[in-house]
Amino acid sequence: MKVLFITPWYPHRYDAMSGLFVRKHAQAVARQGVDVGVLSICSLQSIAHNEIVDEVVEGVREVVIYTNKGGVWGEVQAMKQLWQYWHKHYGKPDVVHVNVLTKQGLLARWLQVNYNIPYVVMEHWSGYLPENGSYRGFVRKALSQMILLHAKAVMPVSSKLMNAMKQCGLRHANWQIVPNVVDDFFYNNDTTNRVREGKFRFIHVSCFDNKAKNTLAIVEAVERLSKQRNDFEMVMVGTGQDIFFTRSLADNYKLASRGFMRFTGEQTPQEVKAWMDASDCFVLFSNYETAAVVLEEAAVCGMPIISTPVGVAEELIDETTGIIVPVKDVNSLVEAMSAMIDNAKKYNSIKIKELAAKYSFDRVGHQLIEIYKRAISD
């Protein structure tokens, strides 16, 4: 079987983190012994001329075009050039895997009409969520529904995202939830009892985009809880556009000097895993998420979770695995954190890990292969 991914997001020389979740899906498929290729665009005005870079990374042939042509028409032209390159050197795939609707979907539909190649659609975009509201415009909506109509399967990364897409009016007969992939090393964990000695340690990991992640509210919750008890700390892992404002608010409350909060700065995935292994509870207070890979990673580590009902939270959390709190309700977050400290032993690390087994490379890769097989034979 030959599978070709078409995606607007993918790691490239200017941003190694862009679309990393797409690369992991491609690698998960490649590990099943399948021939996998990826076509992607990096569009920047600073690029002098079009350049195609073709290389193999962990069993996946990645072909990226660097171009200064932006906009819908520019990207469509670049994708057409990519396809011509791919077809000349590697021939026709058996199935196309489209990441994100509309522009890339148009190419997939064109390939279906002209080369009789079936396609499936995977969706990660948060624009469908009502809290984001970016899915709008008659042309976008009409094209999106047309592309879905001819797809063999639609694969949102969470039930939350699937429901949001349906609420936006998108219709299809074959919805398949396919989660994001968690790196192998997160599974290397024997912890059965996560209750540590000393201060109870909460951990938050994010890109510090306050509009989505609500990190300022986490600082506010820690400040309020610090007035009630002194047997905990919060570790804030990562960096991003609002890290300065988040740290400034924490400094204003003197949370670091009082021993309630620390900031680690940017960390490697292995370092994030080490922090998770050294913590007692993961906290996510986002306003919206399509999946929230950090929740999946925390669950793989067997850690109880406090989260708003975003992404995969409601798929993972029940009374034995964590606590769901309302969006933007800081008082509820404070109460949940205090309850977690007092009742940490009741949370079942083994059950949490079992729920997270579906995020492995092997499980996700196998799920995708079965979807491709049905798409080809249909």
Please name which of 196, 199, 160, 378 lies closest in space to residue 303, comparing C-alpha atoms. Answer: 196
Q: How confident is the model over 213-251, as pLDDT tens digits?
A: 999 999 999 999 999 999 999 999 999 999 999 999 999
One CATH from 3.40.50.2000, 2.20.25.90, 3.30.420.40, 2.60.120.260 for 184-357: 3.40.50.2000
Per DSSP, the three-state class of 109 is helix
Two tokens at 268? 């490697």
Extract the tokens encoding 377.
Answer: 């034979």
Task: For residues 129-147, give the mean pLDDT.
Answer: 89
CA dihedral over 310, 268, 364, 2, signed as positive or negative: positive
Helix axes 269-277, 293-300, angle to 10 degrees: 50
For residues 5 and 136, which has the higher predicted lDDT (pLDDT)? 5
Q: What is the mean pLDDT of residues 294-316?
A: 95
The residue length of the chain stands at: 378
CB 237 within 8 A of CB 272: yes
Q: pLDDT category, 195, cuts 50, 70, 90?
A: low
Structure token digits, residue 295: 């929740």
Q: Could you report the per-residue pLDDT of 98-134, keeping only the tens digit for each?
A: 998 888 898 999 999 999 999 999 999 988 998 888 8
- The CATH T-level fold of domain 2-181+360-377 is Rossmann fold (3.40.50)
How does the average pLDDT of the chain come out, rounded?
A: 93
pLDDT at 191: 55
% of residues, the chain, pLDDT over 70: 98
Judged by average pLDDT, the poorest of 55-64, 186-195, 228-237, 243-252 is: 186-195
The answer to whether 33 and 372 are in contact (CB under 8 A) is no
Q: Is residue 205 within 8 Å of residue 272, measured between CB atoms? A: yes
- pLDDT given for residue 11 in this prediction: 92
User: Which stretch of DSSP H or E encloses residue 197?
Assistant: none
pLDDT of residue 190: 63
pLDDT of 193 > 60? The answer is no
Sign of CA dihedral 126, 164, 159, 213: positive
Q: Which residues make Cβ contacts (< 8 Å) with residue 128, sequence separation at least 6? A: 135, 161, 164, 165, 167, 168, 170
- The DSSP bridge partners found for residue 262 are 235
DSSP states along 226-277: HTT--SEEEEEE---TTHHHHHHHHHHTTTTTTTSEEEEES--HHHHHHHHH
Task: Return residue ranges of the chain for CATH 3.40.50.2000.
Answer: 2-181+360-377, 184-357
Place 70 in a pLDDT band, splitting at 50, 70 and 90. confident
Does residue 318 carry a pLDDT above 80?
A: yes
Residue type, 193: N
Amino acid 192: pLDDT: 52
- Is there a contact between 304 and 344 (Cβ–Cβ < 8 Å)? yes
